[in-house]
Amino acid sequence: MIRLHHVPQARSFRILWLLEELGESFEVVPHSFFDKSLRSADYLALSPAGRVPALEIDGRVLFESGAIAEYLCETRGRLGRMPGEVERAEWLEWIHFAETAGQHLANLTQHHIALREPWMRSPTVMRLEAKRLEKVLAVPDRVLTGHDWLLPSGFSAADVAMGYSALVGRRFVRLDSLPALAAWLERIAARPAFRRALARDGVAEIYRQEFYEAPDE
């Protein structure tokens, strides 16, 4: 049995969604960022940094979402681009570029949500990180002008990895200037596997607003 340790709306959603796209049978083990479950000794034995995802699979535990995506595609035979294939380099780049977006998302989430007291937050950091994220999201927007998915041959795990970044990113960056990206997210929302993943995601506890605006200083 595959077991996914998951926090609703967190990066582990990438793996939840990918498992649905792959048609795998799996168990979701829910956690919260706002209790101590991710810092317990039992969980740290699975994920040393106390983060999600952690995936129990094939007699091992994996705890980095990019590595998990690569492993799933290589062992399950779908949605990857294997060594020697024409699109391999581009596929790998998108899988890991999602982490570049993730750095900005983490900083924005920290300042808008995790830091509870207003005096802890920096409106300057909020605005800078939103602008940096917008520049990151402009990259897939340019690529998606002209075809439906990030790779010319069609949908892949690259769309899952970057798609999650864009789905969360639109809570901090308005997509008016990114029309190809916005249309891509509409295509993603129509995918049956994505809808199944949303149904299993759990109750939202991180992002409870549609959009987070940086306050005036």
Q: Report how far apart, in Å, the C-alpha atoms of 183 and of each of 30, 163, 176, 187, 188 are.
A: 31, 12, 11, 6, 9
115 assigned to some structural domain: yes
Q: What is the pLDDT of residue 30?
A: 96
166 assigned to some structural domain: yes
Residue in the block written with tokens 């998990």: 68
Q: How far apart are the first and last CA of the chain?
A: 51
CA 41/CA 181 separation, integer angstroms: 41
CATH code of the domain in which 94 resides:
1.20.1050.10
Q: What is the pLDDT of residue 217?
A: 67
User: 171: domain range?
Assistant: 88-191
What's the structural domain count of the chain? 1
CA 95/CA 92 separation, integer angstroms: 5
pLDDT tens digits for the chain (217 residues)? Answer: 999 999 999 999 999 999 999 999 999 999 998 888 899 999 999 999 999 999 999 999 999 999 999 999 999 989 999 999 999 999 999 999 999 999 999 999 999 999 988 888 999 999 999 999 999 999 999 999 989 999 999 999 999 999 999 999 999 999 999 999 999 999 999 999 999 999 999 999 999 999 999 987 6
CA 92/CA 203 separation, integer angstroms: 31
Contact status, residue 9 vs residue 206, Cβ threshold 8 Å = yes
